[in-house]
Structure 1
């Protein structure tokens, strides 16, 4: 079968959508991503269906909600027989090349207990051909490269500590010990460009995953102090931490789990001052600009080699980042900043839609079905997501979803999480669901905890109206929507298959 062309699937780790459109957009220079948006279709209401890194990527790459794949924490195994983008793209004749990482925890049932694959959650998902390993906690090729370049560090994590240019005590936004041309982002891009070049005369599939701007927040010059912290807006939320905690019992542990000091190496204590928050936000934006520069190199390579108009290019993020908003760092919370992610897709032959914006809700589980649809490969019934192909072509199916849905598991079976300790929840009820429609966001908990309801025609996420009797009907309606959503999206692996006298027969899900 003649394949339609190349596929380049880029994930930028922890990139907030408002860097491109929203509160931070006016404060960060992302010329290459913005230029790409002018040539592609942007999905404005795109959300990750779960957090953090491992679970979010499991959902993206398998097209499944977390309630079905159940790889719900970093370190929770993914079932070995779960179809994913790599296993299915192989059926279409592509070699699924991985440049970076998928943060997949292997199924211990198919490995010997002594196999080292069971000691890390950062392994590649089944089916991928790992061309270059770039895992945050390992990155052995990059470590080796730095050593060969003459950089000296006692321990790997020392690489991520800011270094004072004058030998004094380091500041939060001092540069990394490595030069920009030797950074992890530059190294990965160089490896991709040199490795993919020989494939010019054949169709290829590449999954390119950038760890930045994920912490530790340290950037090489000039990105470390590219942005003036004083010029940045303060994090959103109540001025008083107590007011944040008072909104719901969930938020106390959420704020305690990670703080600013956890986002930078070499600072064991770091006061949560507005100045420190702004400085770390400035470094984050510098890292985002560095990634943008290298994404620009990749796009330019496609153009220069004559492959741009034959390549489906998908650029997204695995999840968002609170970045000090609501006195919270990381993504283990319920607010949009942790889930709302960019999604930009340029499809060959779709120039009529260049620069358009899709405003209906889309989810991270839609990406894999879209890629499979484009290459002409059937989409397994295991996948909960739907192909975005009609939306890319300017059409909205009549039965398209009117809301988005996300989940979060906040348990820790080996050592009970802060939520479990403070809320008294167990391993099976330390989880929540989030449903967002045109007006409201509903958060429901499996444990005996009150719901959260945000009204975006009111104060939005700054006010929980769940206990306001005026909202009782909407609270009940949204609760029914969430229940029906879960019922409709129960595991479909074999549910549409029937054994008949003529053998197994399967109906397509969509």
Structure 2
């Protein structure tokens, strides 16, 4: 193992796993990510343990399930004393540099009521050194850069609207007002490369987070028109939304909560026509290709500067995206497309495993323990995830998990959500759990709602078989498994500590 250990942790916001392996993979150019896969280990059953952005990143960076950190919505505070990747890296002597955002809401108990930190859910997580602020709703450095370059806009959100090159009424896939060299993705990468150039040989940790292909869906030329919408596969599921609505009461509010019109700015109404859906899917893929291009620049920098063999490189996404599948957009649902994410890890000294694929189920809470394990830092018992180092070496532990677990909270205390209004649920029972094993997916609700069960050996997510009598045994078994999982993973922050006559003692969780 090299004496100098660098860590580069990249999160791509809202990138579907099937862009690299699945339904969309053959339709999107991601040459740099694919080249990286040939040098790394890929985890093809990797899932976010919660959605949306803020909660998913809270779980990734704390290694905790949402049921333990409880920052379950964008804007829900994260406890100030929760150990996370940055606080633990500091204990190992690293300065945790953040290029981008963590979407963390601060604990109001630790700040004065008037502190501006309590007026934005997009604050950096405790312990990070924010080198560059690139939050979607703020992005002041990038705004200043655009203004300096001479771009004119009356309102910041105008930057996120398509603009007709001919001065006509804009179309959904018209380009952004800025050039590709000046995009948010390019700007973030430029700053990262300039900032890291003087740090060669220091031993560093950097968290680089790309907002794209997260909406608003607008891309600079040529990425806006890189893909022909007519050649892309149609969204998964029935053509009739009524079929989706009939599957479970959850899906009515889910479809209405996030619509195609929410994914692009500057239009009075965007109808879910085949043409519009395919057009925005094409823009999404163009944005993914743009991110791929700039990740290629980052990887090349590591190679050119002689740091590639000293650097653990982790590339993943915070969650997925429905992209019109099942008549849904966004990630506030129960389907795999919203939770399954790519995960690729290149570990120095692991060339014999280059290009290999791990099919054991892994979760987003495993990433932070993996990074800490690699640098030799102890993993706090508060973290629910497990180090992936044994899997990277091709030696999965005998007691490795056989399923993945995810959660979703669909409440809003300040203004009841569509689910709360239509289902009659409250703030504490507007939540669900998802358990996936080799064959089944179980969705269970805290409220008095029927469960969902998908059999992937048959029709999968196209049919809810929870009420089919022949599946009763499986439904019961999986329900017990979910209960046991929650019981085994209750908060372990101090549960393995003991106060004794000789002083405090502690046992390691794993």
Does the TM-score normalized on the shorter chain lie above 0.5?
yes
What does residue 38 of structure 2 align with?
38
What does residue 60 of structure 1 align with?
60
What does residue 51 of structure 1 align with?
51
* Matched-pair contact (CA < 8 Å) for 1:77–1:104: yes
Shift of the alpha carbon at 1:20? 0.2
User: SS where residue 172 of structure 2 aligns?
Assistant: coil
Shift of the alpha carbon at 1:3? 5.8
What does residue 140 of structure 1 align with?
140
Write the mapping of 1:175-194 to structure 2, written as runs, cut at 5 A.
175-194=175-194
Structure 2: segments with no counterpart, 5+ residues: none
What does residue 73 of structure 1 align with?
73
What does residue 6 of structure 2 align with?
6
User: SS where residue 276 of structure 1 aligns?
Assistant: helix
Write the mapping of 1:125-274 to structure 2, written as runs, cut at 5 A.
125-274=125-274
User: SS where residue 296 of structure 2 aligns?
Assistant: helix
What does residue 334 of structure 1 align with?
334
Shift of the alpha carbon at 1:201? 2.0
Whole-Å separation in 2 of the counterparts to 1:54 and 1:347: 27
* Matched-pair contact (CA < 8 Å) for 1:72–1:409: yes
Whole-Å separation in 2 of the counterparts to 1:7 and 1:457: 39
What does residue 489 of structure 1 align with?
489
* Matched-pair contact (CA < 8 Å) for 2:162–2:177: yes
Q: Does 1:427 align with 2:427?
A: yes
Whole-Å separation in 1 of the counterparts to 2:268 and 2:492: 47
Deviations 1:115-148 (A, max 9, x none): 1111110000000000000000000000000000
Deviations 1:392-443 (A, max 9, x none): 0001100000000000000000000000000000000000000000000000
Q: Does 1:388 align with 2:406?
A: no
Whole-Å separation in 1 of the counterparts to 2:465 and 2:80: 42
* Matched-pair contact (CA < 8 Å) for 1:60–1:366: yes
Whole-Å separation in 1 of the counterparts to 2:318 and 2:190: 22
Whole-Å separation in 2 of the counterparts to 1:350 and 1:234: 39
What does residue 21 of structure 2 align with?
21
Whole-Å separation in 2 of the counterparts to 1:297 and 1:459: 42
Whole-Å separation in 2 of the counterparts to 1:255 and 1:244: 9
- For normalisation by structure 2, the TM-score amounts to 0.99
Shift of the alpha carbon at 1:268? 2.3
Q: Does 1:281 align with 2:253?
A: no
Whole-Å separation in 2 of the counterparts to 1:14 and 1:412: 22
* Matched-pair contact (CA < 8 Å) for 2:223–2:286: yes
Whole-Å separation in 2 of the counterparts to 1:226 and 1:144: 28
Moved over 4 A (4+): none
Whole-Å separation in 2 of the counterparts to 1:164 and 1:480: 56
Whole-Å separation in 1 of the counterparts to 2:8 and 2:300: 13
Whole-Å separation in 2 of the counterparts to 1:262 and 1:201: 45
Write the mapping of 1:364-403 to structure 2, written as runs, cut at 5 A.
364-403=364-403
Whole-Å separation in 2 of the counterparts to 1:171 and 1:16: 25
Whole-Å separation in 2 of the counterparts to 1:313 and 1:56: 20
Write the mapping of 1:299-314 to structure 2, written as runs, cut at 5 A.
299-314=299-314
- For normalisation by structure 1, the TM-score amounts to 0.99
Q: Report the number of matched residues.
A: 509
Whole-Å separation in 2 of the counterparts to 1:475 and 1:261: 37
What does residue 118 of structure 1 align with?
118
Whole-Å separation in 2 of the counterparts to 1:166 and 1:36: 39
Q: Does 1:506 align with 2:506?
A: yes
Whole-Å separation in 1 of the counterparts to 2:353 and 2:247: 43
What does residue 90 of structure 2 align with?
90
Structure 1: segments with no counterpart, 5+ residues: none
Shift of the alpha carbon at 1:319? 0.1
Shift of the alpha carbon at 1:267? 1.2
* Matched-pair contact (CA < 8 Å) for 2:4–2:201: no
Whole-Å separation in 2 of the counterparts to 1:281 and 1:508: 46
* Matched-pair contact (CA < 8 Å) for 1:3–1:92: no
Shift of the alpha carbon at 1:4? 4.7
Whole-Å separation in 2 of the counterparts to 1:359 and 1:420: 37
User: SS where residue 131 of structure 1 aligns?
Assistant: strand
* Matched-pair contact (CA < 8 Å) for 1:4–1:375: no
Whole-Å separation in 1 of the counterparts to 2:12 and 2:479: 33
